[in-house]
Amino acid sequence: MLVVEDNIFIALDLEAQLVEMGHDVVGIAATATKAIAMSRQSSPDIAIVDLQLADGSRGQDAAFVLRNEMGIPSVFVSGSLHQVTDDEKEAIRPLAMLSKPLLPNELRRTIEAAASSDLAWKDR
């Protein structure tokens, strides 16, 4: 798992939630460039991606490269999901789009649903 999130509290919380579910977290990326570099290095199964990242970069841009160049799907977690256009949704095919703030177990249920769905994994 990779966490792409520029707010350190949120990033650490997401990491803790993922670890508690029994997943390995390969790292925390605060920008789109870092997210792509870390994915190339460690090939996570799924990326948890915020939309508005540090240095003005966009989570969609990272998720697009991860999906189309590395076959890594993303779960968007953002306070402004409406920023994802229909074209981007089609190109990125996110596993889920979760609105901040996350509710208890929302991330867990999403990841479990994704893991049990063959459809979500067929691109891998």
Partner 1 sequence: MDEVRHIDLGIFFDAAPNAQLVFTPDLRIVAANQRYCAMLRRQPEDLVGFRVFEVFPPNPDDPNADAEAELQASADAVVATGQAQEMPLRQHDVLEADGRYGTRYWRILNSPVFADASEPERVTHVIHTAEDVTRSVLGERADAAKRRAAMRGADLSYFELDPVSQSLVRSPQLDELFGFEQGETAAEVKPFLDRFHPDDRDAAISEIERVARTIGSDLHLDYRIMLPDGTTRWVTGRGESVRDPGTKAISIVGIVLDVTSIRENEANLSKAVEARDLLIAEVNHRVKNSLQMVTSILNLEANATEDSAARASLRAATARVNSIAAIHASLYEDDDVRSVQIDKYLDKLTRHLRASLESEERRVQITLDVEPIRLPTDKAVTLSLAVNELVTNSFKHAFGKDDDGTVTISLRRSGDDKIVLDVSDDGTGPSFDSLDRSSHSTGLGQRLIAGMASQLGGTIEEDKTSGWRTRISFAE
List Cβ neighbours of 75 (8 Å cut-off, separation of 6 or more). 46, 47, 48, 49, 94, 95, 96, 97, 98, 107, 110, 111, 114
Report the alpha-carbon distance of residue 5 to residue 32 in Å, rounded: 9
- Minimum separation from the CB atom of position 97 to partner 1 (A): 13
By C-beta, is 14 or 72 nearer to partner 1? 14
Q: Residue 19 or residue 91: which is nearer to partner 1 going by CB?
A: 19
Binding flags for partner 1, 68-107, as an x/- string (CB under 8 A): ----------xxx-x----------------xxxxxxxx-
Residue from 10, 28, 46, 66 binding partner 1 (CB under 8 A):
10
Q: Which residues of the chain form contacts with partner 1 (CB under 8 A)?
A: 7, 9-10, 12-14, 16-17, 20, 52, 78-80, 82, 99-106, 108-109
